[in-house]
Structures are given as structure tokens and as C-alpha cells.
Amino acid sequence: MALVAADGLWSVLRRRLGHRTQPRFARHVAWRTLVPANAVPPDFAAPAVNLWLGSRAHLVHYPVKAGRMINVVAILRDDWKEPGWTAAGSRAELLDRFPPGMWHAPAHELLKASAQWQKWALYDCPPFRRWGKGPVTLLGDAAHPMLPYLAQGAAMAIEDAAVLGACLARTPDDPASAMRVYERMRLGRSARTQRAACRNGTLYHLGGAAGFLRTLTLLAVGGAGLLKRYDWLYGWEPR
């Protein structure tokens, strides 16, 4: 029996399972860093996720390590010319893409607070119709590579594991059948989450009149309304 996640030889196994579609560069690049909380204004250490939206880019930050550090992720539409899928990033290059005239001063100051940045090319792949064969299946990003605009990549992998474990427990003597049940239970939900993440990526990076209308809509709906839209996602329980 083989349970394969996103690391190791997952791409080889996917091909052996009949998946020929290659991951595609989403033309988005994520820049990440950690900033000491004492190096930025106290508001940045508040226990909340902060999202800044702009034309062709957005910024997310939130405290980690019991509030001692701030995790900062800046994602922008870009090309990728590095030899691999990750590389060291230049603060000056990033600040050029977040000019102070286009971004509020607090967001710009946060980006300036770190000299050490790492950048990642973001890749996407359409939902697969089949994850496994015989006593072999996929879970996590190996089964449904997910863009980060809904923050559900790790969450979907945890859900996969919970459902797969329950299915195997119900039919421990027939793992292949358990895996097919698991796949049927997870295919629709993971595909819906992939699509929702892609839509968010488009909405986050709108500019001009479209961006203005998006912002007005978000303000009108409010935080409670936005959360309600995702009842299907956050209200899920394993079976």
C-alpha cells in the first residue's frame, strides 16, 4: 500500500497513474520573509491576518512564533527567469514593485523592514479526475496542487488524511476499495477549493475600475458576509 504526498517521487507516480498534464507557471511569484515584531509598529503584532490588495499584487502578514515574528508574504504578477522554482530575492527589486505612491505607507514600511527575502514561482494544475489505482493513491498537493489565495493547501492535505484514515479503518482488509471511496469523497471538495483559490488570485490583483468595484463590494459585504460565503469550506467535518 502506498500513500504518496507532494514530496519525493510524486511526479513520477502521477505519470504512472496516467496524469500527463504538467504543472503550469501561474505567472505569479510569492516573496516571503519573517520580520521581528519589535522592528515594526505594535499594530502589526495583533493576532489577525492582514490583507492588502493592489493592482497586479497583494500583501498578507500575520504574527507567528507567539507574536515574536511577523510572517510576510507579498505576491505579484511576474515572469520567472530563475533556474529553479525558488531563489533569493532582492529587497530593492521587491520595493520597486510596491512603490510608495501606489501603496499605503504602513504596508511599504513593513516590506522595508526585512533585507532577507526568498521568492517562489507559483505553479498550478487543473483538478485531476483520478488520483489512484489499486492500493495506491495521492493526497495533498500531489493530488490537488493549490495556489495560496485561499490558504487551504495544508488544510486540504489534513482533510485528505482524515478521510483516508477513516476509509481504511472501515475496510482494513481491502485498502484498494477504501482508497477509491476516499477519492470519491475528496475529488469534488478539493476541486472546488482549487477553483475558489484561483478566483481569489484574480480578484486580489484587479486594478483600475475593476479593482475599485471589488473594494466597494468587499466593504459592502463586510467581514461576516465574507466568512458566510465560505461556510461550505470552514464548516466541513470529517466523516
What is the C-alpha to C-alpha distance for residues 12 and 31, in angstroms, rounded to an integer? 28
The CA-based dihedral angle spanning residues 139, 144, 149, 151, taken in that order and rounded to the nearest 10 degrees: -10
Place of cell 475600475: 209
Following DSSP, what letter does each residue of 67-135 receive, concatenated? TTEEEEEEEEE----SSSSEEEE-HHHHHHHS-TTTS-HHHHHHHHT-S-EEEEEEEE-PPPS---BTT
Neighbour count for residue 62 (Cβ, 10 Å): 16
62 is catalytic: yes
**Is 73 in contact with 31 (CB distance < 8 Å)?**
yes
Residue of 62, 123, 182, 234 with catalytic role: 62
Catalytic residues: 62
